[in-house]
Amino acid sequence: MPYGIIIAFDGYPIIQSLVKIYLIYTCIAARNLSDEAKKVISSLRVNLNEGRKSLLWIVGRDTEKLTEKEVIRATVETVAENTSDGVIAPLFYTMIFGITGGIVYKFVNTMDSMIGYKNEKYLDFGYLAAKTDDMLNLIPARLTEILMIISAPKETDKTRSFQIVKRDGRNHKSPNSGYPESAVAGILKVQLGGSSSYKGVLVQKPTIGDPLESLQKNTC
């Protein structure tokens, strides 16, 4: 565990502090999330095929046949969901349980990303990782939804955004991802969700939000 590294520098408080800061930093993916989303939009400005290729690095769905709007929708959904998984949740568990809490959460979340799939290969092996990740994200996902809306630009209809979350927060196969996604849908006045293809299998999913604004490159 990380305490072994910290103890190794016992008697050197400044180095210990720097090690702690670095370990916490490794648990948070805010910059990486922003950079990867920007790469998708930059590639999309080159052409649709390049946008699809860039998107493939940050989503699990099939991207080969996505339209431009579907590429943008997937990018927005990924940023929304991973703001909870990659930023708020590790900070939440670090604040409560210290560095160990943040690293344990990151380990579980990474395992879920790698093997938590409902397919023949991973269904049994990844079940524990997926369910543990769901449990650990129950509070952070809902906290993310609140933080997103209260920190949105002042022109945002925040009351309506909360109403969208209340209405559509459960419109997702994940018990948690729908909350940050519906918050973003409410803030941006766009519609997210809908069916997507994963490994050649079409997965039917309900929509989230209302299409009051169209999904465009400047949406991200």
The confidence score (pLDDT) of residue 145 equals 97
Residue 211: helix, strand or coil by DSSP? coil
Tell me how far apart the alpha carbons of residues 2 and 57 are, in angstroms, rounded to a whole number: 29
Residue the block writes with tokens 């670095």: 22
Q: Are 3 and 19 in contact (CB under 8 A)?
A: no
Over residues 42-97, the pLDDT tens digits come to 999 999 999 999 999 999 889 999 999 999 999 999 999 999 999 999 999 999 99
pLDDT of 8 strictly over 60: no
Amino acid at 127: Y
Tell me how far apart the alpha carbons of residues 173 and 208 are, in angstroms, rounded to a whole number: 12
Q: Are 111 and 136 in contact (CB under 8 A)?
A: no
List b or e across 48-78, with b for residues whose CB sees 16 or more CB atoms inside 10 angstroms: eeebbebbbebbebbbeebeeebbbbbbbbb
Average confidence score pLDDT of the chain: 86
The confidence score (pLDDT) of residue 10 equals 59
CA angle 164, 170, 171 (to 5 degrees): 80
Over residues 174-203, the pLDDT tens digits come to 899 999 999 999 999 999 999 888 878 888
Residue 205: helix, strand or coil by DSSP? coil
